[in-house]
Amino acid sequence: GIQVEQSPPDLILQEGANSTLRCNFSDSVNNLQWFHQNPWGQLINLFYIPSGTKQNGRLSATTVATERYSLLYISSSQTTDSGVYFCAVELQAGTALIFGKGTTLSVSS
Amino acid sequence: SQTIHQWPATLVQPVGSPLSLECTVEGTSNPNLYWYRQAAGRGLQLLFYSVGIGQISSEVPQNLSASRPQDRQFILSSKKLLLSDSGFYLCAWRFSGNTIYFGEGSWLTVV
């Protein structure tokens, strides 16, 4: 099956710092999404981004489908950004998302 | 607007006991429904997904089963729980578009 690898596995930042999270996948995908899981376990969809670049406030994401990777950028990080960030991909429309193991982000004030 | 409800939120069950987790979606019809499991400190593992009533795809062989008795109801079951079944279980849905939405999850501890 498809492999989804995220790096780094853990990231510790001071408030205000910028960071880049990476997601590599082993096959062509129909769908790629980024999620944030807060400390209470709730998963929130950040971006649907099978290709191209999107921005939402301090967050932005870029997917280069031909090279099979996606990047999530967090600028001016805040303590509320802490949690686990997941990348998930779908091989064919209408199937299911396969998740990477996540990047655990800790932002301290 | 669409909402997803999942219960119970937390449960502690002895080894060998049965399990039933329920998920319902409101405000949409014929959604794709999913069950994921997250073990402590790990990513999300897809367990089952369903594209319609009575249609269940299983991704991982295990002692769990899923059923979809109604269009917007998805149930995860086990006849006899194992210690390794402990984890955080998440139900999710998707309809039009590609965004998937998750419920609040159920924390299961098997003792």
Chain B residues whose CB is inside 8 A of the A41 CB are: 38, 88, 90, 104-105, 107
The residue that leads in pLDDT, A88 or B96, is A88
- B30 to chain A, any CB pair closer than 8 A? The answer is no
Model pLDDT, residue A69? 97
pLDDT exceeds cutoff 90 at A105? yes
Q: What is the pLDDT of residues A6-57, one digit of tens each?
A: 999 999 999 999 999 999 999 998 899 999 999 888 999 999 999 999 999 9
Q: Are A107 and A15 in contact (CB under 8 A)?
A: yes
User: What does each C-alpha distance from B17 to A30, A106, B13, B39, B109 come to in angstroms?
Assistant: 40, 37, 7, 19, 12
Dihedral sign, Cα of residue B39, residue A105, residue A56, residue A53: negative
Model pLDDT, residue B61? 66
Dihedral sign, Cα of residue B105, residue B32, residue B72, residue B66: negative
Is A96 close to B97, i.e. CB distance below 8 A? no
Model pLDDT, residue B91? 96
Chain B residues whose CB is inside 8 A of the A97 CB are: 34, 46, 100
Model pLDDT, residue B88? 94
Is B105 close to A42, i.e. CB distance below 8 A? yes
Cα–Cα distance for residue pair B26/A91, rounded to 1 Å: 27
What letter represents residue B53's amino acid? I
Question: How far is it between the farthest Cα atoms of chain A?
Answer: 42
**Residues whose CB is less than 8 angstroms from the CB of residue A77 and which lie 6 or more positions away in sequence, other chains included:** A13, A15, A16, A17, A18, A19, A58, A105, A107
Is A99 close to B43, i.e. CB distance below 8 A? yes
Give the nearest chain A residue to B44 (CA atoms): A99
Q: For chain A, where are the E strands, in sequence order?
A: 4-7, 10-14, 19-25, 31-37, 43-48, 52-56, 59-64, 69-74, 83-90, 98-99, 103-108
Q: What is the pLDDT of residues A91-101, one digit of tens each?
A: 887 778 899 99
Q: Please tell me the distance in Å from A50's CA to the nearest CA on chain B.
A: 10
Model pLDDT, residue A99? 92
Chain B residues whose CB is inside 8 A of the A43 CB are: 90, 102
Q: What is the pLDDT of residues B31-90, one digit of tens each?
A: 999 999 998 777 899 999 999 999 999 887 679 999 999 999 999 999 999 999 999 999
pLDDT band at A102 (very low <50, low <70, confident <90, very high): very high
Is A96 close to B102, i.e. CB distance below 8 A? no
- B104 to chain A, any CB pair closer than 8 A? The answer is yes
Q: What's the distance, Cα to Cα, between the start and end of chain B in Å?
A: 38
